[in-house]
């Protein structure tokens, strides 16, 4: 049975990743490949992630469009990333199948679908960055900012300053927007964008052209960031060393991180958590503080998703 492994446990935490819904966005395949290669490797972090999480990955949502060499559309001329609300099993079969699987997991009380990440490539912006959703719930909004902030610490080519949260009407049929409205408030849905061209490091340095290896490295860093996230949430307690490289120049925005099942607001949150001293140092490096003006992070962004 396809779902047997998910039903055997009291609760499975699931991360669902998709890519290449737009066939011309080839960098997304390399990022996704980096995630897959890392997760199936013998790296200690990968082993911990496999012990605690279930990863569901659909690396190519638009295979017909890829085969035909289309830039954005499917075989029948549809932009699949505008049809999540009501995909047709005839016209949008891959989307329909993935959506049905997500709904089955969502309706299963033994499964907690915590992340949905849809990987794209952007034709005008530099670096990697994310789009997230806007929520009226202040606590949920601030929780949503945690993962991209942690990713910014791990990946030199990821820019939190380019990350934005929106409810743009033209994006209503995208996976991020639709699933963000469908799933419960413990689930977080993102579009991960990466530039077709280059990334810019902090300071006056010139742009660095992306290579296939650089895209796959971003994928590996995405996978590594799940360990940091779940350490913050006390799911992972194994004493692994924190990611050795931390970055500040593209991650200067400050955020609040709120632990699960806590009452909002909280001004000091990490000191009482049952986590390793090494990771407490990592949190200190992130310079996590309480933000009174959290709504100032709302941006309406345009992108390739």
* Catalytic (active-site) positions: 193
Q: For residue 31, how many other CB atoms are within 10 A of its CB?
A: 30
Q: Are 143 and 188 in contact (CB under 8 A)?
A: yes
Q: In terms of residues, how long is the chain?
A: 305
> Rounded distance, CA 199 to CA 206, Å?
9
Q: How far is CA 229 from the centre of its chain?
A: 11
Q: Are 165 and 297 in contact (CB under 8 A)?
A: yes
3-state SS of the chain: helix, strand, coil percent to 5?
35, 15, 50
> Rounded distance, CA 32 to CA 16, Å?
12
What strand order describes the sheet that includes 111-122? 54-58, 12-19, 111-122, 188-195, 128-133, 164-166
> Rounded distance, CA 18 to CA 9, Å?
24
Each residue of 252-280: b (16+ CB within 10 Å) or e?
Answer: ebebbbbeeeeeeeeeebbeebebbeebe
Helix axes 212-232, 146-154, angle to 10 degrees: 130
Q: Are 70 and 78 in contact (CB under 8 A)?
A: no
Token pair of 256 as six digits: 């609040």
């Amino acid at each position: 049975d396809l779902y047997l492994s998910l039903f055997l446990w009291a609760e499975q935490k699931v991360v669902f990743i998709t890519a290449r819904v737009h066939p011309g966005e080839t960098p997304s395949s390399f990022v996704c490949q980096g995630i897959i290669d890392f997760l199936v490797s013998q790296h200690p972090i990968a082993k911990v992630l496999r012990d605690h999480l279930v990863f569901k990955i659909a690396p190519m949502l638009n295979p017909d469009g890829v085969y035909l060499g289309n830039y954005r559309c499917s075989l029948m001329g549809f932009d699949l990333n505008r049809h999540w609300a009501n995909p047709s099993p005839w016209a949008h079969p891959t989307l329909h199948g993935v959506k049905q699987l997500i709904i089955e997991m969502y309706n299963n009380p033994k499964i907690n679908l915590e992340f949905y990440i849809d990987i794209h490539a952007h034709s005008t912006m530099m670096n990697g960055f994310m789009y997230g959703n806007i929520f009226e719930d202040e606590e949920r909004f601030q929780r949503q900012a945690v993962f991209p902030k942690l990713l910014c610490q791990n990946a030199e080519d990821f820019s939190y300053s380019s990350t934005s949260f929106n409810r743009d009407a033209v994006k209503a049929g995208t996976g991020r927007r639709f699933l963000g409205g469908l799933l419960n408030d413990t689930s977080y849905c993102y579009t991960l964008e990466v530039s077709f061209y280059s990334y810019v490091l902090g300071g006056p340095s010139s742009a660095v052209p992306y290579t296939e290896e650089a895209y796959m490295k971003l994928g590996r860093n995405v996978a590594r960031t799940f360990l940091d996230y779940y350490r913050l949430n006390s799911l992972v307690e194994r004493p692994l060393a924190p990611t050795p490289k931390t970055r500040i120049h593209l991650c200067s925005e400050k955020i609040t991180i709120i632990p699960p099942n806590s009452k909002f607001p909280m001004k000091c949150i990490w000191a009482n958590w049952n986590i390793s001293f090494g990771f407490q140092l990592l949190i200190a490096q992130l310079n996590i503080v309480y933000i009174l003006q959290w709504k100032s992070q709302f941006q309406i962004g345009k992108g390739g998703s």
